[in-house]
Amino acid sequence: MPQGKLFKKLHRWPGLILSFILLYYGVTGIFLNHREWMASLDVPRTALPDVYSYQHWGNSALKGNVNIGPDSILIYGDIGIWVTDSTFSHYRPLHAGIPQGADNRKVFDLHRDSAGNLYAATQFGLFGYDNATCQWTKFPLNVDLKRFVAIETVGDSIYVLNRSYLFKGVANGVNTTFKKVELKAPEHFKKEVTLLETIWQMHSGEILGLPGQLFVDLLGIITIFLSVTGIIYFFFPDRIKRRKRRMKPYERLVRINRWSLKWHNKAGAWFWIFLIFLYFTGIFLRPPFLILIGYSKVAPIKYSHLDQPNPWYDKLRDLRYDPGSGCFFLSTSDGMFTLSPDNWKPQPCRVQPPVSVMGITVFEPYRPGAWLVGSFSGLFLWHPDNPRIMDFVKGELYRGAPSGRPVGVNKVTGLIHTADGKRYMVDYDRGVVPLYHRTTFPDAPESLVQQTRMSLWNLALEIHTGRFFQFMLGSFYILIVPLVGLAGVMVVISGYLIWRKRFKRRKRRGQKIRLLDLDVVVE
């Protein structure tokens, strides 16, 4: 088959199918690039497939709870903050003061100090509960990354962690004043970032800051434009012929078709290399290609958004105080560290607990010298000074994950403690699961389920990653991103080669015409 015909086939038919898919990729990609701008926009979960319901407390609905009285419990997580009773039967929201929107009310940690003051670490800031006004008040902390992930109190001191810095102060409710602490680099520190984060920021444009994100937004618009004009050019010629045969007006369709082809070619020729880069980097952000880069590290690209002076920029994940040693345990994307208040210089732990590349979700004391550590890899009993790590759910010695998958059998998103000492693991898929007892956890009441919403940003993420289509495709949904990415690269390259061939042909024709004109003039 001649090369030209092969390129046409590779561009025409896969391009048609891909156009409809890339339409929603372009729209959702732009949404994903501006999370904070969209935080107040959400949709009812009742309008989505049943798999997104919070009825069984799955989908990261719950992360933990705080017992505040004999018959009063606070539960928190992606669902926000709710007050319930000791039987987990009746619920009322506790969101006054936190801006509207499911994303604004995403809570990573909820803490009560010895004086009874409440603090909440959320997606977009740190809040304290004002008992006088019965609403949450945001602390005015000057930070680049607004996600706060952990709160801990030691005596009258309070320590708060966002993704880059530690904040400390004297616990005084909403009147607490915090001082920002930049943690020191550990011994033998190498300035590295994960390859996943590097490719992620390249794909979103964040690696070049806001200008980079806006340029990727433009690529999203170009993707939408190429998809629409490609669909027009595929279907309009036949429609024009039919109208022509029936003696109906068709000139307007001809103009639209010509305009679409002209600007489809121009846009593709101008942006093809950037589109290839965008589509190709996207395939590494989801399994199976994610497995290839998940734990790799590289030096940050010079002068990019990743090249930060703070050695812990966007690496901090959780913080817990160990009364036995008088130090903190600090969970980071680089592993687990001990942290002394004397010098704030993290030291790597000799024994590292298993934590998924997607980050720690549970970090709770089990008994003196032992901790429960949970993530999408599972729930484990970790002794910092003992190399034997137990799979807490199975009750057996952990022997590693030979498959290399970034998730385990138990995708842990939280842990619930009842007043009588029972523990429940919160699994992303199965919801609340009892641990070493048979008392089932009540499902969410219908009145609560009807009130729950999903942020538009999260819905865009579900669609963009292909998870939204799991109810139709089952586990094969995992192939959507790599197949679309690779097909997108093929369609863009074949389209460019077709245009290039025609452009060169036109150029040669133009040269011949000019030479003929010159001959006429000479004669």
pLDDT of 345 above 60: yes
Q: Collapsing DSSP states into helix, strand and coil, what is residue 86?
A: coil
pLDDT at 509: 65
Structure token pair of residue 322: 């160990």
- CA atoms of 337 and 426, how far apart (whole Å): 25
Mean pLDDT throughout 133-150?
Answer: 96
pLDDT at 515: 34
| Contacts (Cβ under 8 Å, ≥6 apart) of 145 | 162, 163, 164, 314
Is residue 1 very low, low, confident or very high in pLDDT (cuts 50, 70, 90)? Answer: low
Q: Between these two residues, 8 and 523, which has the higher pLDDT value? A: 8
- pTM score above 0.75: yes
Among 91, 99, 96, 100, smallest CA distance to 61 is for 91
What would the pLDDT profile of 292-328 be if each residue is shown by its tens digit? Answer: 887 899 999 999 999 999 999 999 999 999 999 999 9
Structure token pair of residue 52: 């997104």
The residue count of the chain comes to 523
Asked whether the CA dihedral 9, 12, 16, 22 is positive or negative, the reply is positive
What rounded mean pLDDT belongs to the chain? 92
Location of structure tokens 């990729």:
25
| Pairing verdict, β 42-44 and 431-435 | unpaired
**Which DSSP category does 405 fall into?**
-
What would the pLDDT profile of 269-281 be if each residue is shown by its tens digit? Answer: 999 999 999 999 9
Q: Which CATH architecture is the domain 60-189+312-368+432-473 placed in?
A: 7 Propeller (2.130)
- CA atoms of 72 and 476, how far apart (whole Å): 43
Asked, as a colleague might, if the bond just before 288 is cis with ω within 30 of 0, I would say yes
What would the pLDDT profile of 226-242 be if each residue is shown by its tens digit? Answer: 999 999 999 999 999 99
Amino acid at site 87: T
What would the pLDDT profile of 80-108 be if each residue is shown by its tens digit? Answer: 999 999 999 999 999 999 999 999 999 99
Structure token pair of residue 130: 């004002």
In the sheet that 431-435 helps form, which strands lie side by side, from edge to edge?
A: 412-417, 423-427, 431-435
- CA atoms of 102 and 455, how far apart (whole Å): 5
Please return the burial class of 346, using the count of CB atoms within 10 Å of its CB with bins 0-12, 13-18 and 19+: buried
- For the chain, which residues make up each domain, given as ranges? 1-53+190-310+474-523, 60-189+312-368+432-473
Q: Between these two residues, 58 and 403, which has the higher pLDDT value? A: 58
Quick one: angle between helices 195-204 and 209-245, nearest 10?
50
pLDDT of 519 above 50: no
